[in-house]
Amino acid sequence: MTTQTSIQQKLQSALSPVFLEVNNESHMHDVPEGSESHFKVVIASRRFEGKKLLNRHRLINKILADELQGGVHALALHTMTPEEWLERNGSVRDSPECLGGSKVK
Amino acid sequence: MDVLDRIREQVEGNPVVLYMKGTPQFPMCGFSSRAAAALQDCAVPFSFVNVLSDPEIFENLPRYADWPTFPQLYIDGELIGGCDITLELHANGELQAMVKEAAEKAGGAE
């Protein structure tokens, strides 16, 4: 199973999202072709209701702890409740381009 | 000094600390760059630590506040979050208020 699929499946089963998109953005960084190192997750779930951003991100970091300890080097997170998701019409900002720092480790 | 004590001293001794890859002038990572730019936009002085030039902090910061990635923003000794949270708070105006309050609090304590 690819890391992308495993991220998708774990978030799907843990958070029952009303919207989930997992993008592999590794190609934007200085890593070998086909790498699974940089991901962006856009997710809307009822489980985020009443939680501040820090705790929403902590929840995801915990669900994806194995991936983050393994090859996943960057995880851009856009976490919303279903209401916040509707308010934004599904738009989130783009991830930044690489500036070379991921080569160091 | 133990590295975790060193981190504690940094985050508790400064009102606003950004742990980043590179420096605000020469960021080495797009996420660090954006977080630093958001803080600079608040027009309140902040401290930063270049984790690429301090391997011990690079290795150990993730376990300090149980946060796996860089950058990490601390205000008034508390982890606020990474790049996405910093930008979100900046966009809704909360970041400006938070750093201003922390700086005033620190200034008043001197």
Q: Which residues of chain B make contact with A95, given a CB cutoff of 8 A?
A: 30-31
Tell me which of A27, A63, A92, A104 to substitute to probe the interface with B (most B C-beta atoms closer than 10 Å).
Answer: A104
Q: Which of A53, A75, A101 sits opposite B28 (nearest CB)?
A: A101
| A14-26 pLDDT per residue, tens | 999 999 999 999 9
Q: How far apart are the two ends of chain A, measured CA to CA in Å? A: 25
Nearest to A23 by CA among A78, A68, A63: A78
Angle at B43 between CA B38 and CA B48, to 5 degrees: 65
Read off the amino acid at residue A32: P
What ipTM describes this predicted complex?
Answer: 0.88
- Name the pLDDT band for B108 (thresholds 50, 70, 90): low
| B12-26 pLDDT per residue, tens | 999 999 999 999 999
Distance, CA of B46 to chain centre: 8
Q: Which residues of chain B make contact with A57, given a CB cutoff of 8 A?
A: 81-82, 84-85
What pLDDT does A103 receive? 53
CA dist B18 and B102 (Å) reads: 14
